Amino acid sequence: MTNIGIISILCLKTGTFDNTDYKGDIKMLEKIVSIIRTQLNLDDVEITEETSFKDDLGVDSLDLLELVMAFEEEYNIELNPEELEGISTVGDIMEFIKKYTDQ
């Protein structure tokens, strides 16, 4: 189960579910996955928030740099090299983008 799924269940149980945020997260994840598929030429690979760039997708440092440039262009943000060290999964990049945008 994805983080979004777990969060949704917890929010439904506590009555704090905001459908707008959930839909925004789904839309963002779909856009991020689309960028990853395009940049890495991946069609038949399942990509979730938990997907590791290195372990699951075989992304090397050059691939990651190209992905970062695509995310920067799409979301009009700038990632510092120091911040990239903490990014290992699709969920990590999603959280970073949310931190620096109104997504």
Would you name the residues annotated as active-site residues? 60
What's the Cα-to-Cα distance from 65 to each of 2, 15, 60, 79, rounded to whole Å? Answer: 25, 40, 9, 10
What's the Cα-to-Cα distance from 44 to each of 29, 47, 57, 92, rounded to whole Å? Answer: 17, 9, 11, 22
